[in-house]
């Protein structure tokens, strides 16, 4: 318990440090009310967290597996709790809407209840900062929990590139934290710099870059026919969406020029290959499908942008006036692929899709060649068998969660297409899919029960279903 409380206090401390950016935005905007509230909240969090850490540091103990899973859940809930008060204080939202806004930002869903034009620059940066911190937390928990315990079959090859530990009881948390933080922050800064060079206003470029690397669907106020009315900047957005959906471990291999290790880490290569193939198919199909706004190459570009946005679970729509141009059936088909392991993307994750397809191919080959020794054969090798069991278990739990979610939303009066869109969008944290099934911001209030349902589904999926179940049951295995 003391160790979990210390981890929760660290989340509040990091959150307080992260408030520097929205506070600076409030100063530049001249919005002193937002500045005062953010600074006071950050100061309170810093004080309480420091007191908590100093009081409990001597009682900290190494957590067992059940304790680590429970701590992961508490840490996520701490981030949501830390983000909630600002929405109440500055936007006058009720408790449930504020919780929804906080969880939507933290899990990188990116859906806002207020119209974008009514959100101040400082609050836009605040939402983006919370999403960026949520992406950082996703990466850290992947490195500390998902990989070491191979939750849901998560691969842990070459994890040592970002996870530093002398022994099991000496995890060197700070060194691992910086190994994850610096490349994540550097890519975010690079994205913002490129967007500014391409003449995107800084008040849009900064929150947008924070969202792209965290695969969040929140976009500041749009003022044109497309998301930025700037083809070059939108192309940069697509590139950084893909970067955000690929593994940070793979990034470290490439930056360190460890080409042989990068080739052995086949997930990234397979993901980019599948991504390119799907994009080529969409571009071909776009030639025969009309677009309400664009013609020629701009029509194809709009289809490509929406495809990249959905596939990486970022959830930014190219043209907000017409919505996502892809048919709902196609969206539901590609939304579950998600990104790579050790990325900020949602979804089932690409490595699980690849593992299941490999397993299916082996079983089909076995029908033709019963005595053959196949690659990653679960019949003769214990390790592939355990990985396949974990992956298939996660897949069926995901299907069960989605089924329950669809029934939950349908029970609240939604038609089946809307319920399916809300369930799948919440599960994969794809903001524009969720927004398409909700009333337009500022037109009609969304029931509190629906807001809580969306938040619950998104949080469970972001934390990972197996982690939540293990935490609830106290599973020590």
Question: For residues 392 and 387, what is the distance between their CA atoms, to the nearest angstrom?
Answer: 9
Tens digits of residue pLDDT in 388-427: 888 888 889 889 999 999 999 999 888 888 898 899 999 9
Structure-block tokens of residue 53: 């850490």
Cβ burial, residue 24 (10 Å; 0-12/13-18/19+)? middle
Please, what is the end-to-end C-alpha distance for the chain in angstroms? 20
Tens digits of residue pLDDT in 13-24: 999 999 999 999
Considering only CA atoms, which of 189, 192, 187, 201 is closest in space to residue 229? 201
Question: Predicted confidence band at 256 (pLDDT cuts at 50, 70, 90)?
Answer: confident
For helices 448-463 and 65-91, give the axis angle rounded to 10 degrees. 140
- Judged against a pLDDT cut of 90, whether residue 133 lies above it is answered with yes
Q: Quick one: average pLDDT of 160-169?
A: 62
**CA 467 to chain CA centroid, nearest Å:** 16
Q: Quick one: average pLDDT of 365-379?
A: 67
Question: Predicted confidence band at 379 (pLDDT cuts at 50, 70, 90)?
Answer: low
Task: Say what the pLDDT of residue 366 is.
Answer: 75
Strand pairing partners for 170? 167
Tens digits of residue pLDDT in 420-469: 889 999 999 998 889 888 877 766 788 999 999 999 999 998 988 878 87
Question: For residues 144 and 177, what is the distance between their CA atoms, to the nearest angstrom?
Answer: 10
- Judged against a pLDDT cut of 60, whether residue 475 lies above it is answered with no
Task: Say what the pLDDT of residue 414 is.
Answer: 87
Give me the DSSP letters along 265-327.
-HHHHHHHHHHHHHHHHHHHHHTTS--SS--THHHHHHHHHHHHHHHTT----S-TTT---S-
Model confidence, pTM: 0.91
Mean per-residue pLDDT of the chain: 85
Question: Predicted confidence band at 237 (pLDDT cuts at 50, 70, 90)?
Answer: very high
Task: Say what the pLDDT of residue 283 is.
Answer: 87
- Judged against a pLDDT cut of 90, whether residue 235 lies above it is answered with yes
- Judged against a pLDDT cut of 60, whether residue 169 lies above it is answered with no
- Judged against a pLDDT cut of 60, whether residue 329 lies above it is answered with yes
Question: For residues 313 and 301, what is the distance between their CA atoms, to the nearest angstrom?
Answer: 18
- Judged against a pLDDT cut of 70, whether residue 372 lies above it is answered with no
- Evaluate the CA torsion angle 211, 137, 148, 379 in order and state its sign: negative
Considering only CA atoms, which of 225, 1, 36, 224 is closest in space to residue 122? 36
- Judged against a pLDDT cut of 70, whether residue 374 lies above it is answered with no
């Amino acid at each position: 318990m003391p160790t979990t409380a210390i981890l929760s206090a660290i989340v509040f401390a990091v959150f307080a440090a992260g408030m520097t950016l929205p506070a600076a935005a409030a100063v530049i905007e001249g919005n002193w009310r937002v500045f005062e509230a953010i600074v006071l909240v950050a100061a309170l969090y810093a004080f309480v967290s420091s007191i908590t850490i100093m009081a409990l540091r001597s009682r900290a103990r190494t957590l067992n597996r059940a304790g680590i899973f429970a701590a992961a859940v508490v840490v996520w809930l701490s981030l949501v709790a830390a983000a909630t008060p600002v929405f109440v204080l500055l936007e006058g939202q009720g408790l449930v809407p504020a919780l929804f806004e906080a969880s939507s930002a933290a899990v990188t869903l990116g859906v806002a209840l207020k119209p974008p034009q009514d959100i101040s620059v400082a609050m836009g940066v605040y939402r983006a900062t919370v999403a960026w911190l949520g992406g950082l937390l996703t990466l850290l928990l992947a490195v500390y929990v998902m990989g070491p315990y191979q939750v849901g079959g998560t691969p842990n090859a070459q994890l040592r590139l970002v996870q530093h530990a002398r022994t099991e009881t000496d995890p060197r948390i700070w060194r691992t934290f910086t190994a994850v933080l610096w490349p994540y922050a550097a890519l975010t800064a690079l994205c913002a710099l490129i967007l500014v060079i391409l003449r995107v206003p800084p008040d849009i470029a900064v929150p947008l870059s924070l969202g792209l690397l965290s695969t969040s669907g929140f976009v500041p106020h749009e003022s044109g026919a497309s998301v930025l009315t700037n083809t070059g900047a939108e192309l940069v957005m697509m590139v950084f969406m893909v970067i955000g959906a690929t593994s940070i471990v793979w990034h470290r291999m490439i930056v360190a020029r460890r080409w042989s290790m990068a080739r052995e880490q086949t997930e990234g290569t397979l993901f980019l290959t599948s991504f390119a193939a799907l994009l080529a198919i969409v571009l071909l199909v776009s030639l025969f499908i009309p677009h309400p706004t664009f013609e020629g190459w701009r029509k194809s570009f709009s289809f490509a942008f929406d495809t990249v946005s959905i596939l990486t679970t970022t959830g930014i729509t190219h043209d907000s006036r017409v919505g996502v141009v892809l048919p709902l059936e196609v969206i539901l088909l590609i939304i579950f692929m998600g990104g790579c392991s050790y990325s900020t993307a949602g979804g089932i994750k690409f490595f699980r899709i690849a593992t299941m397809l490999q397993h299916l191919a082996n079983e089909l080959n076995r029908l033709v060649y019963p005595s053959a020794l196949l690659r990653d054969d679960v019949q003769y090798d214990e390790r592939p068998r355990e990985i396949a069991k974990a992956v298939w278990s996660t897949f069926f739990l995901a299907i069960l969660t989605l089924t329950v979610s669809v029934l939950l939303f349908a029970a609240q009066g939604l038609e089946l297409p809307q319920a399916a869109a809300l369930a799948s969008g919440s599960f994969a944290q794809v903001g524009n899919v969720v927004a398409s099934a909700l009333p337009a911001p500022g037109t009609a209030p969304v029931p509190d029960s629906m807001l809580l349902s969306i938040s619950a589904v998104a949080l469970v999926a972001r934390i990972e279903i197996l982690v939540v179940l293990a935490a609830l049951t106290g599973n020590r295995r």
